[in-house]
Amino acid sequence: MKKHIIIILILTFGYALFSFSRLGSFTNPNTFIENKEIIIENKDSAIISKLRYFTGHNFKKMKLYTSFDNKKYTELEDIKDTSVFSWNDIFINDTFHYLKIVLDKETSLGEIALYDEQNNQIDIKNILNGKKIIDEQDTVPKQISYYNSTYFDEIYFARTAYEYANGLPAYEWVHPPLAKIISSIPIKLFKMAPFYYRFMGNLAATLMIPILYLFSLKLFKKTKYAVLTSLFLIFDNFHFAMGRLGTTDSILAFFIITSYFFMYLYISTKNEESLKKKITYLFFSSLFIAFSISTKWTGLFAGLGLAIIFFIHFFKNYVENKKITKNGKKILLYTILFYSLIPIIIYISCYLLFPNMVYYKTRNIKEIIDITKSMYQYHSTLTESHPFYSTWYSWLFMYKPVWYYSNEVGSLRATISGIGNPIVWISGTISIFYLFYICFKKKEKKALFLSIGYICFLLPYMNISRGMFLYHYYPCYLFTMLATTYVIIQITKVKKNFYLYYIVIVIFFFLYFYPAISGELMNPNMIDRLRWLPSWIF
């Protein structure tokens, strides 16, 4: 056991050092003003090239005016619906003595900076009625990037985490609140900055490594194969990009794979082992699937797979014993209680703890039912288009990754795409189909377990009409990694060191595709060469 602890620590902390590096800025403006009129005096009369400003948790409208006498003002710009918690530039290229900023009542501004023609920041000293927007000048970045601003769906999830942390009405309501509440913890403890609102998602992505290691070890019994499965996860570009994005999907995937790990521990216990151990495994499996349901409703799909696995195992024991044993009755009773009551209690508790939302209140059971109905109506009637929508069957071959972020500075370009390691992805799809074959041919326990977990999560998406994204495949993807290990074990019986060659190839392609997920500025040619398919847009 000591050996496994050492290996897990090396793999987990190694990944953590890499993935938490450049995750995001530790400092962003944290004082904001709303519904104000601000006047800035430009004594030097220098040409102002641009205004850089940082938005708060709300941003509807901001108007800019210029004047030479502080009496007659000319409208310069009308800015609407800018991303929240992000730095933005407005190019002015004009001379004036006074700049007036008028904020709408639903617009929050954190900090501003003015720049001259040489792109040097001007020291703002004379300001009327808005000192809070120049009190954190050390947070103004030299360049705007993912490192200091929200991107993609962080504008919903990071914003809502901030609102939970500060007791404000929560904006994002179309998913249950648990993961957003979890994401709010570092914000509450420290401050609202990219590192902190991305912290819990990346922590979940990191904690998947020990879970997948232990899962693989339990399935395949050998250390080298547990390491192999962990390395698939560590050197997968999709997992890396998803973990570092301040949304809830990596938290959801962690809950689901952990719940299946505990279910496998349960069905692997021998009949003579203690009832307490079996019930403990079932309790934790039900607890983590409850967490997943309270993060996104798709956790119910995974719960269906757990139910099928449990009853297959229960029926098998019934056939072997020709009756339901006394312990079997207790296990059945505890399972029904765990998997029905725990998800309901956690789901309701999340809403009752934070009952204040922008559009809804959840102060009692009736109001929780009302928001649940509205959530269902929202998802079932969603018709808006999106350039990165993809069909469920296209996920199997990573046909259309989601493009999360792009930026250009001079001749350099940065991008973050939810693209996976092609070797891990394609081999995973092939391997899961091989496991389906093994299930029908040999009815092998491991293959059946992984196949049920995979297909029960994927199958409901086949009947969903609303637009979907590749990241909805995330929990399924973890099962394909275990499936790949299963297949590699069979190949290694013929070619002894095949798994070593394979992991070298996996690492090579992770590094090869790293420019597409890093968000760091680099030569555009390094990014362009990665577009193997026309649908790989980044």
pLDDT at 324: 87
Residue 19 contacts residue 202 (beta carbons within 8 Å): yes
pLDDT in tens, 255-271: 999 999 999 999 999 98
Tell me the average pLDDT across 263-287.
Answer: 96
| pLDDT above 90 (res 418) | yes
DSSP string for residues in 342-402: HHHHHHHHHHHHS-BBSS-B-SSHHHHHHHHHHHHHHHHH-----TT---HHHHTTT-S--
* Percentage of the residues of the chain whose pLDDT score is greater than 70: 100
CA distances from 67 to 38, 90, 93 (A): 13, 17, 14
Cα–Cα dist 165/510, whole Å = 36
Bridge partner residues of 33 (DSSP): 109
214-266 per-position pLDDT tens digit: 999 999 999 999 999 999 999 999 999 999 999 999 999 999 999 999 999 99
Q: Which one, of 9, 26, 5, 27, lies nearest residue 17 by Cα? A: 9
Tokens of 303: 């719960």
**Which tokens hold the place of 535?**
């649908």
Place of tokens 């009637």: 381
pLDDT in tens, 18-73: 999 999 999 999 999 998 899 998 877 779 999 999 999 999 999 999 999 999 99
Highest mean pLDDT among 33-37, 259-263, 377-381, 492-496: 259-263
Residue 255 in contact with residue 295, Cβ under 8 Å?
A: yes
pLDDT computed for residue 271 by the predictor = 86
At residue 245, the pLDDT reads 98
Q: What is the pLDDT of residue 266?
A: 98
- Residue 25 three-state SS: coil
Dihedral over alpha carbons 465, 467, 472, 477 (to 10 degrees):
80
Contact 424, 508 (CB under 8 A): no
Instruction: Decide: 363 and 438 in contact? Cβ < 8 Å.
Output: no
Q: What average pLDDT score do residues 126-131 get?
A: 84
Do residues 386 and 404 lie in contact, with contact meaning Cβ atoms separated by under 8 Å? Answer: no
Q: In terms of Cα–Cα distance, which of 61, 138, 135 is closest to 101? A: 61
Q: Cα dist. 8→48, 215, 236, 250, 260 in Å?
A: 55, 12, 18, 19, 19
CA of residue 207 relative to chain centroid, distance: 14
Position 446 confidence tier, pLDDT thresholds 50, 70, 90: very high
* Nearest alpha-carbon partner for 41 in 119, 137, 114: 114
Phi, psi of 113, rounded to the nearest 5 degrees: -150, 145
Q: What is the pTM of this model?
A: 0.96
Computed over every residue of the chain, the mean pLDDT equals: 95
Instruction: Please report which confidence band the pLDDT of residue 284 belongs to, taking 50, 70 and 90 as the band edges.
Output: very high
For tokens 């050390």, what's the residue? 138
Phi-psi region of 179 (alpha: psi -120 to 50; beta: other; left: phi over 0): alpha
For the cut 90, the answer to whether the pLDDT of residue 296 exceeds it is yes
Distance CA 227, CA 285 (A): 23
Alpha-carbon span 520 to 394, nearest angstrom: 28
DSSP secondary structure letters along 130-160: -GGGGS-GGG--SS-STTTS--TTHHHHHHH
**Residues 63-101 pLDDT 10s:** 999 999 999 999 998 998 889 999 999 999 999 999 999
H or E, element range at 89: strand 87-94
Q: In angstroms, rounded to a whole number, what is the distance separating the alpha carbons of residues 21 and 15?
A: 10
Q: What is the pLDDT of residue 449?
A: 97
Tens-place pLDDT, residues 189-200 = 999 999 999 999
Dihedral sign computed on CA atoms, order 266, 269, 275, 276: negative
CA dihedral of residues 194, 195, 196, 201 (deg, nearest 10): 100
Distance CA 171, CA 193 (A): 18
CA nearest to 51, candidates 73, 36, 66, 72: 66
Amino acid at 396: L
CA 267 to CA 215: how far, in whole Å?
13
Mean pLDDT within 316-323: 84
CA 458, distance to chain mean position in Å, is: 18
* Measured distance CA(313)–CA(302) in Å, rounded: 17
Helix (H, G, I), strand (E, B) or coil at 21: coil
pLDDT of residue 376: 93
Give the N- to C-terminal CA distance of the chain in Å, as an integer. Answer: 44
Average pLDDT estimate for 422-442: 95
Six-digit token pair at 104? 């709408």
In this predicted model, which residue has the larger pLDDT, 320 or 265?
265
Q: What is the pLDDT of residue 183?
A: 98
The angle that helices 474-492 and 223-234 make with each other, rounded to 10 degrees, is 140
Which residue ranges form the domains of the chain, and what is each CATH number? 2-22+156-528 (no CATH), 33-139 (2.60.120.260)
Residue 64: which of 20, 14, 123, 104 has the closest Cα?
A: 104
Q: What's residue 477's pLDDT?
A: 96
Contact between residue 394 and residue 140 where contact means Cβ atoms under 8 Å apart? no
Q: Give the tens place of pLDDT for each residue, 131-159.
A: 899 999 999 999 999 999 999 999 999 99
320 — pLDDT class (breaks 50, 70, 90):
confident
> Taking residues 100-119, what's their average pLDDT?
93
Is the pLDDT score of 441 beyond 90? Answer: no
Supply 369's token pair.
Answer: 């039912």
Phi, psi of 183 (to 5 degrees): -65, -20
